[in-house]
Amino acid sequence: GAVNSAPFDGFAAGELRFNGINSNKVEYNYTENGQSYKNWYWRISYSFEASPNVPLVFNNVPVVKRGWDYVWQLVERKENTTTGQLDCAVRQLNVERVYPEFDFALLGLPLPE
């Protein structure tokens, strides 16, 4: 799998994941000038999955989690001196790329209009 590095077919960069290609060999018979022939062609389908980009805010700083990225956080627990209970505070927000990027326009696929 790879993720789109640029907008593609109405999806923003990072929202589409390329799953792969399926192919089938299609055979057919035809007649030309009274002679029967057998021929074939490849029928190919491409598979994609979509996941939207999500805007996040950490310490008043906007962060974009692209659709197929992974987000995890480092949490610190401290005892609240007033209540005596443990409070949680996010100390670090991590956004990691899981899939390599690829410009899907290079696939040369005809797109619907």
98: three-class secondary structure by DSSP: coil
Question: For position 62, what pLDDT does the model report?
Answer: 94
Model confidence pLDDT, tens digit, residues 61-92: 999 999 999 999 999 998 888 888 988 888 99
Supply the pLDDT for residue 50. 96
Q: In the numeric block, which tokens belong to residue 44? A: 């190919």
- C-alpha span between 78 and 37 (Å, rounded): 80
- Splitting the chain (113 residues) into consecutive groups of 10 residues, what average pLDDT does each group show? 93 94 92 92 92 94 94 91 87 94 90 72
Q: Which residues pair with 46 in a beta bridge?
A: 21
Residue 12 to residues 8, 58, 78, 86, 103, Cα–Cα distance (Å): 7, 22, 40, 40, 12
The pLDDT value given to residue 60: 92
